[in-house]
Structure 1
Amino acid sequence: MALLITDECINCDVCEPECPNQAISQGEEIYEINPNLCTECVGHYDTPQCVEVCPVNCIITHPNVTESHEQLLAKYHALITGAERAPQE
């Protein structure tokens, strides 16, 4: 599962640098997570680092992107090997 930043985001800028996959970027109003790059930190850390540092707890499991731990790990391996990335939905 990818993660999603809700509209409760206060644009505090702490999540973006914590993402090892560079999946977080500033959107039009709040930060956004690219589900094609988000592995919930699988392959890097035991827990999603953006969730760990978020002061308002506005990062949730994306309701429309369901992935198993194995799928997240496969995505991680594809990202680190430079495999072709799918466009953001």
Structure 2
Amino acid sequence: MSQASQASQAPEGEDEYQTTGPLLVAKLTEAGIHPNDIKKLTGAGLHTVEAVAFTPKKNLVTIKGISDQKADKILEEGEFEQSDFSFLLQTP
């Protein structure tokens, strides 16, 4: 295989690799979490779905504008997205 054909194949592999990284918290908008709530989460330093999923509810409700109900929904969706993601990593 020539170097030119190897170089043309590299971006494909890079794209595939990038899809297996941490899920950004913005992914939660697809699950019905309002974009303003996403901004509040990122403002509090939670930038990935995994970070949200492992944050205790008592910490989420300390974020201004995140109520108990919102925290429950965010955690539910975050745990679902995170478990969905870990399942994808385990498939061959």
Give the TM-score of the pair, scaled to structure 2: 0.28
Higher relative contact order (CA 8 A, sep 6+): 1
Give the TM-score of the pair, scaled to structure 1: 0.28
> Which of the two has higher C-alpha Rg?
2
